[in-house]
Amino acid sequence: MSPSIASLPVDQVASLRRQFDLLDTDEDGHISPVHLTNVLRSIDLHITDTEMDEVMAKTDVDGDGIITFEDFVEAFRTSRREELAKADHERQANLRQTFQIFDRRNFGTISPKDIWNVMRSLGKNIPLEDIEDIVAEIDQDGDSRISYSEFVQCVFADDE
C-alpha cells in the first residue's frame, strides 16, 4: 500500500476503492482515457479530447497514460487540498471584510470608539467603558487598539 493511501482513514480508502471500481468496469486495475471516455458517455456525459487530456493531466499522477488506484487516490487528495485552500482563502477574505467594517477609516486598527460607532449604528447602546474593557482584553501590545492579527487571534481563540 502506498504512503498516500496508508495515510487515509480505512473507510475513506474503501469508499475511494468502490468509486474506482465503478469506473474500472473491465476490472483490469486501471482506467485508460478511452475506457473513461466510454464510461462517461454511457451516463450521457460527453467529453472532448481536450477535456480528457485535462482530466488525465490531473489524475494520471505518474504520467504512464492510465489511472491506477494510487493515481485516483492522489488526485482525490490533491483535489481535497485545493478545496481546503480555497475555503481558507474565503475565510481569510471574510475575516478581512469583517475587520474593515470596524476599521472604517482604514487605519489598520480598531479603536473602542470604532466598535462603539458600529454598535450604535446597529441600534446597540453599549457604554464606551465596557467596550474599552473588551478591547483591553484583546489588545496584546498595549496600544488600546485591536490590530488585524489581534482580531484574528481573538476570533480563533476558542479553536485552540
Residues 124-142 have pLDDT tens digits of: 999 999 999 999 999 999 9
75/121 same-domain check: no
Q: How confident is the model at residue 4 (pLDDT cuts 50, 70, 90)?
A: low
- Say if 91 falls within a structural domain: no
Question: Which domain does 124 fall in, by range?
Answer: 103-159
58/121 same-domain check: no
72/17 same-domain check: yes
pLDDT of residue 40: 83
Q: Where are the beta strands (DSSP E) in 87-155?
A: 109-110, 146-147
Cell of residue 14, nine digits: 474503501
- Say if 92 falls within a structural domain: no
67/108 same-domain check: no
Instruction: Provide the phi-psi class of 24: left if phi over 0, else alpha when psi is between -120 and 50, else beta.
Output: beta
- Say if 78 falls within a structural domain: yes
**Number of domains observed in the structure of the chain:** 2
CATH of the domain at 60: 1.10.238.10
The answer to pTM > 0.85 is: no
76/114 same-domain check: no
8/79 same-domain check: yes
The residue among 83, 112, 95 whose CA lies nearest residue 159 is 95
73, 75, 78, 82 alpha-carbon torsion, rounded to 10°: -130
- Say if 64 falls within a structural domain: yes
Residue 37, number of CB atoms within 10 A of its CB: 18
- Say if 95 falls within a structural domain: no
- Say if 111 falls within a structural domain: yes
CA neighbours within 13 Å on the CB side: how many for 58? 12
79/8 same-domain check: yes
73/140 same-domain check: no
36-75 pLDDT, tens digit per residue, is 888 888 888 888 889 888 888 888 888 899 999 999 888 8
Determine the Cα–Cα distance for residues 6 and 9; give it in Å rounded to an integer: 8
**Given 50, 83, 116, which residue is the final one in a domain?**
83
The residue among 118, 110, 114 whose CA lies nearest residue 147 is 110
